[in-house]
Every structure is written in C-alpha cells, then in structure tokens.
A and B are shown apart, each in its own frame.
Chain A
C-alpha cells in the first residue's frame, strides 16, 4: 500500500515563526502536492511538484514556499506564519506511470494553529 506520511499531526506556532511541514511518500511517485483545507472552501492547491527540484504554484501560493530535494520528500514552508494560515494541511502524491488512473494518495494531515 502507498503510504504518505506527514511529520506532524498537530502544531501550534506563534505569529512570525517559520514553520516546516514535512511529507514523505514510499511509492516512488513523481508528483507530490500540498493542499490547504478550510471549512466551506474544500481543498485548495498551494504548490505541487512533478519532479525533484521542480515546483509549480497552485491556486494559493502566497505566503508559502516548498522544497523537493529528494523524490520521496516534499516540504511546505511558511516563512513567517500568520493567523490566517491556521488550517489543515494535506500532502498527497500520485504517479504518471503506465497504468496510472489518476488518483491522489493522501497523508493524515497536519493541523496548524497560529496564535
């Protein structure tokens, strides 16, 4: 089974702190994604990556950056956390390999509270 692991389930940070959210997948997937989930807004794409060191902005990249130094790891960085970044963050992965049917595999989520 594909496993996507997010390093922290719950985090509490103060305004202005730098925050790292880590995500690791174990199925050699090419594509990795960071979503933000807020009530009534569904999932909104922050960034995605289709290869090592490659990244693409999603719908709401402002205030975030990402890093993908290794294929299995995709990190989301909040340079200076703000209260409006309090949210649930979901990491996901997928593959383009033959037989790909397009589904995303999700981690358990990281619930971030910024005070």
Chain B
C-alpha cells in the first residue's frame, strides 16, 4: 500500500509570504497525485492534480505543485499568501490501475495578517 506523508500538521505564514506545504509519497511507480483544500465545515475541493503530463502543475487560487520523481515529492506552493488561503490542505495519491486513494493527515494553514 502507498503512504503519504505531509510534513507539518500546522503551518503559519504572514499575509503576502510564500506558502510551502510538503508532501512525500511512497511508490516506485509514479501515481496520480492531488492536492485538496478543505475550508471549515466543508468537503474537500480539488486544488490541482498531476497525471503524468507537465511536472509543474498549476491549480486554482494561484497554487502550484511540482512533481519530483527522484524525491518522491509533490510539494504545494503559492508565492503570496492571502487571508482566504487559511484552510486544511490534503495531499493524496491514487494508483493508476485501480481506485485506491491514499491521503496524508493534512496540514492546517494559518495566514497571519
């Protein structure tokens, strides 16, 4: 089975600062990779996904992530944090051959004014 590790369960950044949320996965075969965002008391919304096209993936709200096979990483970044970015972020992996999904434990992002 796959595993997904999100380093840092809580991350705080100042408004306007760089956002970096880390995600590493365990797989010898590149899977599909996803970042989801969850606002308070809501479901998960897809931010972006990697499906073997470009390694740098752009998503909604100015977020992007880079797939690095050698590091088995898929870190999420945003150049300038906005107050509305405060939310829980989940990294997820799915295998290409089935319908199994594996989630990280989430990173709560706080944006300080």
Contact = CB atoms under 8 A, between A and B. Distances in A.
Interface of A: 4, 6, 9, 31, 33, 40-43, 45, 48, 50, 90, 92, 94, 96, 101-109, 111
Nearest to A96: B99
Contacts of A92: 44
Secondary structure class of chain B's binding surface, majority of residues:
strand
Interface string B85-113: 00000101010100101011110000000
Given A42-B104, A42-B106, A108 B49 contact: no
Interface string B33-56: 010100001111110010100000
Q: State the 7 A-B residue pairs at the shortest beta-carbon distance, nearest first.
A: A42-B105, A106-B43, A102-B32, A102-B94, A106-B44, A101-B51, A43-B103
Contacts, number: 56
A50 B9 contact: no
Contacts of B45: 106
Given A90-B44, A104-B44, 19 more contacts: A6-B43, A9-B41, A40-B9, A40-B105, A41-B105, A42-B103, A42-B105, A42-B106, A43-B44, A50-B99, A90-B43, A102-B101, A103-B46, A103-B49, A104-B34, A105-B46, A106-B44, A106-B45, A111-B41
A31 B98 CA distance: 11
B65 to A, nearest CB: 14
A48 B42 CA distance: 21
10 contacts: A42-B90, A42-B103, A42-B106, A94-B99, A101-B51, A102-B51, A104-B92, A104-B94, A107-B43, A109-B41
A101 B104 contact: no
A111 B101 CA distance: 22
